[in-house]
Amino acid sequence: MIYLDNSASTQIREEVLNVISHELKYSFANPSSPYKPARKSRISIDKSRKIFAEILNCSENEIIFTSGGTESDNAAIKGPVQSLKYFGNHIITTAAEHHAVLHTCLALEKQGFEITYLPTDKYGIVSKESIFNAIKENTVLVSVIYGNNELGSLNPIREIGETLTKLKKTESKVPLFHTDAIQAAPFLNLDVQKLGVDLMSISAHKFNGPKGVGVLYIKNGTPFESQMTGGGQERQKRSGTENIAYISGAATAMKLADEEKPELSKKLNQLRKLIINYINKNFPDTIINGHTENCLPNIINLTFQNIRADDLISALDLEDICISNGSACTTNSLEPSHVLQSIGLNANLALNTVRISLGRYNTEEEITEFLKILKMILKRSSKLNYETSVEI
């Protein structure tokens, strides 16, 4: 199998599996209990929290463990704005966000919140000027994705953060700034101080960790209304008995990913350029969506002229090659991608669009084999379309 859908999920690392197995066996006690085995469980969580805090350059008490990226995004938006609803009710985001953000904003809109969905440029990138110009007296939160999950394009998070920080110094403590860093985490700098963010979402299964565990950074002093009530675990911000094994696995995966960032980014950039150069040479009418330079090193979004994405995905699946038509959360939807429509791609072409996303286990040999089979399928499709048009 050649797996090229790493933006949907990554293969768990052997080192991470070993940590999870060990913790499942030995850290079985509830970390909130008062005896020695429970303290061992608590120590495991504390060690994991410290790893994330060091990588994000924040305090350990600013790290909250969640069930994954969707919960982190939901909490990052709902928690602050519900706490600030008597101060203001305006949220700014972009039209190209992940559905975990967009659907959360839509739900809040039904509750009376005012949402501004900013357009992006043709690459799916929003400008800091458009963010600044959209801010009003009642704006309480800005949420912008770091690296787009379908296009790979990078938003100017640091520049937006600097703009909002300057504004808050002269005006007030709002608007707060959240970034969905779920796709960016394996490749980009996550220093929350340099980025100027108040909240950040991360999900472990995007960097070879387990599914079902995520991280939410909440800057100290950020107004926040808990979305999960109960025993008050996670600093009273997210109740529920902690998933010790997966939290430890996530921390291990994050530490390894952070150590390998430069090397992995270089490798995947080379593979990405190999694919793009091949497409440009052999299928020059193919549209490459997203920015080709200001982007994540692992995502290639392609629109083919003569084949539906579903047909191409199925044909490659028969050859044991895995790609997708965008976010795994909306793979079964018959509607064109909202991200592609937000950059101006018409609905018909959007349905001809696929996403190839690379990961740490991909090799040049795999890419060469993939491109050979892709060429065969596209040529076959082109011939079939020609013969059909002649008959008509």
The answer on 219 and 105 residing in a single domain is yes
State whether the Cα torsion 159-328-67-24 is positive or negative. Answer: negative
Q: For residue 365, what are the contacts with CB-CB under 8 A and spacing of at least 6?
A: none
Compute CA 209 distance to the chain's CA centroid, rounded to the nearest angstrom: 14
State whether the Cα torsion 107-110-115-120 is positive or negative. Answer: positive
- Of 188, 223, 256, at which residue does a domain stop? 256
- pLDDT single digits (tens) 256-307: 999 999 999 999 999 999 999 999 999 999 999 999 999 999 999 999 998 9
The answer on 31 and 88 residing in a single domain is yes
The answer on 209 and 291 residing in a single domain is no
Distance CA 256, CA 252 (A): 6
Integer distance in angstroms from the first to the last C-alpha of the chain? 38
Mean pLDDT rounded to a whole number for the chain: 95
- For residues 353-366, average pLDDT: 98
Q: Which of 58, 105, 322, 329 is an active site residue?
A: 329
Predicted structure pTM score: 0.95
The answer on 366 and 280 residing in a single domain is yes
The answer on 242 and 143 residing in a single domain is yes
User: In the chain, how long is the greatest CA-to-CA distance?
Assistant: 79
Q: What is the pLDDT of residue 233?
A: 94
The answer on 208 and 61 residing in a single domain is yes
Confidence of residue 169 (pLDDT cuts 50, 70, 90): confident
Q: How many structural domains compose the chain?
A: 2
295 among known catalytic residues: no
- Of 241, 256, 271, at which residue does a domain stop? 256
Q: Which helix (H) or strand (E) holds 354?
A: strand 353-357
Give the structural domain span for 218: 14-256
The answer on 266 and 190 residing in a single domain is no
The answer on 249 and 286 residing in a single domain is no
Tokens 């995947």, located at residue: 268
Answer yes or no: are the C-beta atoms of 276 and 132 closer than 8 Å.
Answer: no
Q: What is the pLDDT of residue 329?
A: 55
- pLDDT at residue 381 tops 80: yes
- pLDDT at residue 162 tops 70: yes
Domain CATH code at residue 306: 3.90.1150.10
Q: What is the pLDDT of residue 390?
A: 40
Q: Report the side by side order of strands in the sheet with 114-118.
A: 63-66, 214-218, 199-203, 176-180, 139-143, 90-94, 114-118
Domain CATH code at residue 138: 3.40.640.10
Q: Which residues pair with 153 in a beta bridge?
A: 295
The answer on 267 and 251 residing in a single domain is no
The answer on 229 and 353 residing in a single domain is no
- Nearest C-alpha neighbor of 231 from the set 222, 242, 221: 242
- pLDDT at residue 354 tops 70: yes
- pLDDT single digits (tens) 231-259: 999 999 999 999 999 999 999 999 999 99
- Of 207, 231, 256, at which residue does a domain stop? 256
The answer on 162 and 38 residing in a single domain is yes
